[in-house]
Amino acid sequence: MKSVLLTRSSEDNYDIIQELQRNHQCSFNYICCPLLEYQTLPLDGTLLYDYPNIIITSKFAAKILAGHQDIEKKNIWIVGNSSKLILEQNNFIVQYVASNVQELLENIPPEIYHQTVYLSSNEITQDLPQAIKRHIIYQVKYATKLQHIAEIEKGINFILLYSQNCTKTFIELLVKNNLLESLANSLVITISKKVANIISSFTKNVVYCDNGQPQQMLELLIYNAQNNAKIRN
């Protein structure tokens, strides 16, 4: 049975396993190696009264907002279909859904920037225009220790990497444990070309999504597992 290293938060890794198990085309040995965890911060709905537009770029932020039914319904500008589904199920009005932050910014009219608040974590990879208010609603903490060292050393068939910061953390932990060479035994699947560029300095065996959607990562995983992806040394 082929192995896959899951590197999101514990909760997200569980969701990925559930999604893959619903697909009967492949079975995997799941190795959960969360590279980050989230800590929710207080969200005072009164802070949002002056902002009819809200930007959400992560599923965790969408879940936090969905839990605040006391917040007056706003126009929500979103990255990712998963976040869209979460908020629509809780009766929020989704104005636009993009595949990445750059696409989202290209579709938000500049004249409403001053009426817009960005609900984010303490860690973001792309700054938004200064006219858009940013409010941090959760903190991201990255792993300082690598789990499943023995399995990684032995060789894992597939590794999923979802963000630039997680990829940098993963590389740092591999270096710390003298495991960079283990990448030669794996096919790394990344969420975007930007993430692929980070890891491709250390391995040739990288494929990436062309639409920035997590669902396509799972499709790439299944496709390569079914077709016995060749690993280049």
CATH number at residue 71: 3.40.50.10090
Same domain, 23 and 71: no
* Residue entry with tokens 């990925």: 16
* Residue entry with tokens 């858009």: 132
Same domain, 182 and 99: no
Q: Which residue range(s) make up the domain with 80?
A: 40-140
Residues 162-177 have a mean pLDDT of 96
pLDDT in tens, 64-116: 999 887 776 789 999 999 899 999 999 899 999 998 899 999 999 999 999 99
Residue 115 lies in a domain: yes
Give the burial class of 89: count Cβ atoms within 10 A of its Cβ; 0-12 exposed, 13-18 middle, 19 or more buried: exposed
User: Can you give the length of the chain in residues?
Assistant: 233
Domain count, the chain: 2
Q: What is the DSSP letter of 121?
A: E
Residue 232 lies in a domain: no
Same domain, 163 and 82: no
Same domain, 81 and 130: yes
Residue 233 lies in a domain: no
pTM value? 0.86
| Rounded alpha-carbon distances, angstroms, from residue 130 to 23, 104, 113, 114 | 43, 15, 9, 9
Q: At what angle do helices 214-226 and 10-21 cross, to 10 degrees?
A: 50
Same domain, 102 and 165: no
Domain C-terminal end among 140, 161, 184: 140
pLDDT in tens, 117-141: 999 999 988 899 999 999 999 999 9
